[in-house]
Amino acid sequence: MLFRSFSRSVSVVLSFLLACAPILPLTRTAAEGFDAGMTPMAAVATPQVQWFSPRIVPLGPTTFEVHGRYFVAGATAKLNGVSMTTTFVSSSKLRVKSNFTESGSGNLTVVNPGTPPKTSSARLLEYGQGITVSISPSTATVMTGTQRQFTSTVNGTSNKTVYWYVDGGSSRGTITSKGLYKAPNTVPSGTVTIRAVAAVNSERSATASVTVQQGSTPTPTPTPMPTMTPTPMPTPMPTPSPSPSVVPTPSPSASPTPTVSPTPSPAPTIDPQTVAAARFLEQATFGPTTQSLAYVKQVGAQAYLEEQFNLPESVFPNGIASSQNEMIDQFFWHKLRGQDQVRQRVVYGLSEVIVISRNKNYYPNMLIPYVNILSRNAFGNYKDLLKEMTLDASMGNFLDMANSRKPGDGMGANENYPRELLQLFSIGLYRLNPDGSLVLDGAGKPIPTYNQNDIRQLALAFTGWTFNTPSGPPQNLNPNYYPGPMVPIPSQHDTSSKTFLGATLPANQTMQKDIDDAINIIFNHPNVGPFVATRMIRALVTSNPSPAYVARVSAAFDNNGSGVRGDMKSVIRAILLDPEARNDNPSNEFGRLRTPVQHHIALLRALGGDLLQPQLISYTYEAMGEGVLNAPSVFGHYSPMFRIPKQSTPLFGPEFQIHGPGELVNRGNLIWNWMNYYQTSNVWNLQPIFSLGNNHVACVNAVDDLLLYGRMSPALRQELLNALQTAQAVGADAKTKALTVLYVTAMSSEYMVAH
Amino acid sequence: MNNNDFSRRDFLRLSLSAGMVAALGNVMPVSAAVAGDYKALVCIFLFGGNDGHNTIVPMAPSEYSSYLAKRGGLALTGNRLLPVTTTTGGQYAFNYGMPELQSLFQQGKVAVLANTGILNQPTTKQQYQQNAVPLPTQLFSHSDQIVQMQAGIPNASASSGWGGRIADLVQSANSNTTFPTSISFSGSSLYVAGQTVPATNLQPGNSLAQYAMGSGWPQAAVDARANAQKNVALLGSSNRIIAAADRIMSDTWKLNAILQGASGGTLSTVFPSTDLGNQLKEVARFINLRSQTGAGRQVFFCGLGGFDTHSGQDYQQWDLLRQVSQAVSSFYQATIEMGVADQVTSFTLSDFGRSLEPSGTGSDHGWGNHHLIIGGGVRGQQVYGSFPILNQNDSAYDQNAFADTRGVLLPTSSLAQYGSTLAKWFGATDAQMAGLFPEIDNFSVRDLGFMA
């Protein structure tokens, strides 16, 4: 299914692609190789094998692709040392013939000819069923405190080793490296999932479900187990199959007679309801789909929002991803496929305010708890979000609150987390008015919200927390361990009184009380409302909100109408339903630049697309300034306060900080690869639009409807029609012309800026 | 008085207050676009923490014997040392992977800056061990120190880099304002991120050509597609955000035209086909285009990884320094070929130095480090800063150069001093220095003297 077939028209363009240097993956390793495509020098580089297409090669006579770097003409693929018939396509691609008769796997290497020949390191190639893992028994009931042996079967490789895990940590039982499960002493909620991961490929795993029952009492309590049913994926796509509904206009697919007569004014009439729903969805979600657009038109923005508030959140299916690749796949899928679109969009906005990055938290288990906290609290209370984040082990690692001890032995309490908590997560550097403007002193200068002494005192309040342990009682300073929040070690806590932000924590409070009080003090600072309002309006709606708009959202933060402060639902309602957001004829400073990820996902959703393996393209976002969960620092990918350069009067545009020429071209090149090569099952089915390519007006209208809701500017429309006319005159085919319309529109500023 | 805190305030104030942004432009001293007035700063970041102790080795007899005693199995001996002599007779040796830099050093084109690192203020060993002065956060942590070295701020993080802030200052020296002043060829980098002028990152060898706009059939149809995109961006929009995005698109087309039109590879200098060689070759190409790009001041960022040599250091470091030496030497030759050797300065940064005492076959994370500055504008063949005396019996021995007993260097020069020396050469004024390096006021010397 994953196998792409290359049509003739594709191969024409393929040859052009070869002329372009491939996007090199960002690497800081000391690669000795060079790109054969661009450096005509004599040395032979060591090839690198990156991935295969299809990922699992079917049985029988077939051809698959080897993707990588530094391949040269004459390069040969070898499976377990045996040469295979190999065709050199480019420095980054080989085509290999195969005829596997039974399922299995082997080590594939690529050898570049030369003296001496250079051989890549091996990469696991799977074929037929590939590597499969199963667990026996697949379901079991185990009494508390007792043991049960599980066995694994690995097929398709000689390496039968598996790693055993209990999802959710030791409170749900433990399992030995030989599969001996020991149930906890108390009955955990729901069923326990046991996981066997193939050592040879961590993406191949199997699970078993265990019901733990109370051992001693003979009466089995009927545990309802409402959660943790092992559903493999969050929710299916709104468009599970490439449906022809991708073009909403009734398209007379075979004979491209225009439904709109090609008169001098060919633009479709704008439907105000469509524009209203689409604009709302651009702000509230990762972009409209044809389905969500129709739905919001039917029920209205407000009802949609309330419904979204009550949808279950997209979750990492196993609570935690087993590999970096799985995490990245899930991360994209939540945004692309998740039904909980508003939550996903709010989480994305919050993730640029409260930041953890892969540059320090390298592995999924150090990142997913953080994402989960943002997700869980997106519609909750900002105070709970701050509190949970403060005690989270992954944040404890990222900003060093974990193992921060009371001063002594020449060590001070760590100030990293307290500083960022104040500056970046809650109140900011200067006192703000409710409308987001700076409070000025008599000399017209901004007034700092805190000083270094506040930071020092707050750091003392946060001392004594350490990582939990997988087993045994926590010691004074534990090594990194991420499941669950950090745990208190009273002997490491500073018990003196602490004064900061004009408030005092009395001496000798419990550690939890110090945390609770400190968060309370920060949360109740008058800055938090305008601070959150400014950032979230910029993240969702517009980079330059009016002060009055900010003030309305601040007020909703301060009081949700029932006297509750920090209610995020109230804030989100205020942001998305505000007259300034809902004005469909907004001012000429309205709108925000979509980030690369938002741009691409919106495009995929609008055109009924999907990404089967986001992990394969995630690295390209590094070159667009938006490395996935990989901001350069705790300041995020860009500053919410960034101003667009070279403006006559100041204009905010946070996302412009990562929008230079290189980043722009990389945005476009990924879109082009999807549009031109990854048709059908891999990304999307654009055939319905391609089929309109010979009917210029209908083609432009279809794309206008899908991406701009009939609002395409006359300038863009005219330029597209001119280009199509030229193309027509030189005999371009329908697909070439349709690609012009799709690509130029998708990369137009009027599409990239949601407005 | 806490400097971190106020520096960060100042930085944010810059982006908060339009008045400040305007003021920044006004105090800009660089007289814009004088013909032939060109300067470039090229940062070469050695990711992982290069071992400075084995990059340059003290060869005075008593020092070398102390080095041998303390370095143990990691010590370089015999033909693994490339001897150099400073203009004042100081005896040192480069790692055996660096014959090209050895030669350039002897020609006066390379300077060594000894024991430099991130500091809030001058710090003694006692102050460090008793936590008596503000210290940079998270010393010895790769991620934090990479951020701090690029940010130029001894805190865990910042939103801009010191290369980018320098670029902000000198932007007015560039006549063609579409061309990015600061460019990374090593991925997205904090170093080049400015507060007012965005940086960009480019892949070496990859121009700004969009795949959709390259060659295709019929070519006229593809050209028409390209024209449509160009024209739409030029027509502008009444919406200011859309117009701003259009400007980036137009800039991209202009830059691409410059790069395509001048991409003939007119330089005859041969670069090694290594990762760093490819990056510096691209830097040279951009410098060569300076008259077409209207560039008067440019900041570049390159990087090479693999220096975190906890084990198997000898071969690994030799191999990496060999790549650095070959690539940097080719780059220097290219600047001669372009007639800008005196106007282009390359310099190294790294996460941190490493422990003098070995741990097995490698070394552990350290703090202060030795750095290299290369170019015709460098007062070369000299060691600057304070090279740590290893022999404890030497009368000049300074215990404050060591943070611990394992030979982790406590910096005697700060990154702020290192950077301000380069920034001054580049055209920044004394008054602007505190905006670039908030801690610079804590150090009495702002110019370490290695630039002419």
CB A744 within 8 A of CB A723: yes
Inter-chain residue contact A591 with B242, CB threshold 8 Å: yes
Q: Which of B252, B315, B303 is nearest to B275 (CA)?
A: B303
A31 lies within 8 A of chain B by CB: yes
Q: How far is B73 from chain A (nearest CA, A)?
A: 24
What band does A79 get if pLDDT is binned at 50, 70 and 90? very high
Tell me which of A139-153, A302-316, A669-683, B86-100 is least confident. A669-683
**Considering only alpha carbons, which residue of chain B is nearest residue A31?**
B275
Query: Bigger pLDDT: A53 or A462?
Result: A462
Inter-chain residue contact B221 with A664, CB threshold 8 Å: no
B232, B263, B309, B404: best to mutate for the A interface, most A CBs within 10 A: B232
Q: How far is A21 from chain B (nearest CA, A)?
A: 6
The three state secondary structure string of A423-459 is: HHHHCCCECECCCCCECECCCCCECECCCHHHHHHHH
Give me the residues paired with residue A112 across strands: A118
Helix (H/G/I), strand (E/B), else coil: B42: strand
Sheet holding A48-53, edge to edge: A48-53, A60-69, A93-100, A86-90
A741, A748, A752, A755: best to mutate for the B interface, most B CBs within 10 A: A748
Where are the strands (E) in B20-99, listed by range? Answer: 39-46, 56-58, 81-85, 91-95
Inter-chain residue contact B137 with A416, CB threshold 8 Å: yes
Q: What is the mean pLDDT of residues A176-194?
A: 86
Half-sphere exposure of A140 (CA within 13 A, CB side): 22
Inter-chain residue contact A641 with B252, CB threshold 8 Å: no
A-chain residues within 8 Å CB-CB of B155? 419
Q: What is the mean pLDDT of residues A401-415?
A: 81
CA distance A678 to B33: 47
Inter-CA distances, A694 with A254, A679, A746, B15, Å: 11, 19, 20, 50
**Considering only alpha carbons, which residue of chain A is nearest residue B189?**
A632
B176, B206, B302: best to mutate for the A interface, most A CBs within 10 A: B206
Q: What is the mean pLDDT of residues B336-363?
A: 93
Asked if residue B23 has pLDDT above 60, the reply is: no
A589 lies within 8 A of chain B by CB: yes
Give residue-wise pLDDT tens across range A265-288: 466 778 999 999 999 999 999 999
Interface of A with B in 449-478 (CB under 8 A): 451-452, 455
3-state helix, strand, coil in chain A (%, to 5): 35, 15, 50
CA distance A244 to A46: 45
Task: Give the length of chain B.
Answer: 452
Name the residue facing A410 among B131, B217, B277 (closest C-beta): B131
A-chain residues within 8 Å CB-CB of B158? 633, 635
A-chain residues within 8 Å CB-CB of B323? 30, 32
CA distance A668 to A434: 40
CA distance A275 to A183: 56
CA distance B439 to B4: 8
A418 lies within 8 A of chain B by CB: no
Inter-chain residue contact A543 with B241, CB threshold 8 Å: yes
Tell me which of A260-264, A597-601, B313-317 is least confident. A260-264
B-chain residues within 8 Å CB-CB of A22? 206
Name the residue facing A732 among B211, B221, B320 (closest C-beta): B221
A677, A719, A733: best to mutate for the B interface, most B CBs within 10 A: A719
**Considering only alpha carbons, which residue of chain A is nearest residue B5?**
A452
Q: How far is A143 from chain B (nearest CA, A)?
A: 45
Residue B260: the pLDDT is 75
A738 lies within 8 A of chain B by CB: no
CB B137 within 8 A of CB A400: yes
Half-sphere exposure of B239 (CA within 13 A, CB side): 24
Task: Give the length of chain A.
Answer: 755
Inter-chain residue contact A661 with B252, CB threshold 8 Å: yes
CB A315 within 8 A of CB A168: no
CA distance A189 to A226: 8
pLDDT exceeding 70 applies to what percent of chain A?
85
Inter-CA distances, A486 with A167, A505, A512, A517, B349, Å: 19, 21, 11, 17, 35
Residue A177: the pLDDT is 76
In terms of C-beta density within 10 A (0-12 exposed, 13-18 middle, 19 or more buried), how is residue A722 classed? middle
Helix (H/G/I), strand (E/B), else coil: A532: helix
Give residue-wise pLDDT tens across range A687-712: 999 999 999 999 999 999 999 999 99
Residue B24: the pLDDT is 32
Q: How far is A726 from chain B (nearest CA, A)?
A: 6
Structure tokens given for B372: 């290299």
Ramachandran class of A727: left when φ > 0, alpha when ψ lies in -120 to 50, beta otherwise? alpha
A-chain residues within 8 Å CB-CB of B245? 593, 656, 659, 749, 752-753
Inter-chain residue contact A591 with B217, CB threshold 8 Å: no
CB B181 within 8 A of CB B197: yes
Give residue-wise pLDDT tens across range B150-170: 999 886 556 789 999 999 888
- Number of inter-chain CB pairs under 8 A, A vs B: 315
**Interface confidence (ipTM) of the complex:** 0.71
Query: Bigger pLDDT: A321 or B431?
Result: B431
A-chain residues within 8 Å CB-CB of B239? 588-591, 750, 753, 755
Half-sphere exposure of B144 (CA within 13 A, CB side): 17
B-chain residues within 8 Å CB-CB of A360? 141, 143-144
Inter-chain residue contact B12 with A641, CB threshold 8 Å: yes
Give residue-wise pLDDT tens across range A29-75: 222 222 223 333 346 777 877 778 887 898 999 999 998 778 899 99
Name the residue facing A651 among B208, B240, B305 (closest C-beta): B240
Inter-chain residue contact A633 with B147, CB threshold 8 Å: yes
A579 lies within 8 A of chain B by CB: no
A741 lies within 8 A of chain B by CB: no
Ramachandran class of B140: left when φ > 0, alpha when ψ lies in -120 to 50, beta otherwise? left
Inter-chain residue contact A727 with B220, CB threshold 8 Å: yes
Tell me which of A65-74, A725-734, A743-752, B214-223 is least confident. A65-74
Give residue-wise pLDDT tens across range A523-550: 999 999 999 999 999 999 999 999 999 9
The three state secondary structure string of A75-128 is: CEEEECCEECCEEEEECCEEEEEEEECCCEEEEEEEEECCCCCEECCCEEEEEC
CA distance B110 to A555: 61
Q: How far is A439 from chain B (nearest CA, A)?
A: 13
Cα Rg of chain B, angstroms: 23
The three state secondary structure string of A352-417 is: CCCCCCCCCCCCHHHCHHHHHHHHHHCCCEHHHHHHHHHHEHHHHHHCCCCCCCCCECCECCCCHH
CA distance A115 to A571: 67
Asked if residue A479 has pLDDT above 90, the reply is: no
Give residue-wise pLDDT tens across range B311-344: 888 999 999 999 999 999 999 999 999 999 999 9
What band does B375 get if pLDDT is binned at 50, 70 and 90? very high
CB A399 within 8 A of CB A420: yes
Inter-chain residue contact B232 with A653, CB threshold 8 Å: no
CA distance A459 to A413: 6
CB A105 within 8 A of CB A200: yes
Tell me which of A45-54, A109-118, A652-661, B9-18 is least confident. B9-18
CB-based burial, A549-587: b 16+ in 10 Å, e otherwise: bbbbbbbbbbebeeeebbbbbbbbbbbbebebbeeeebe
Asked if residue B117 has pLDDT above 80, the reply is: yes
Q: How far is B119 from chain A (nearest CA, A)?
A: 16
Residue B226: the pLDDT is 97
Residue position matching structure tokens 């990404």: A611
A240 lies within 8 A of chain B by CB: no
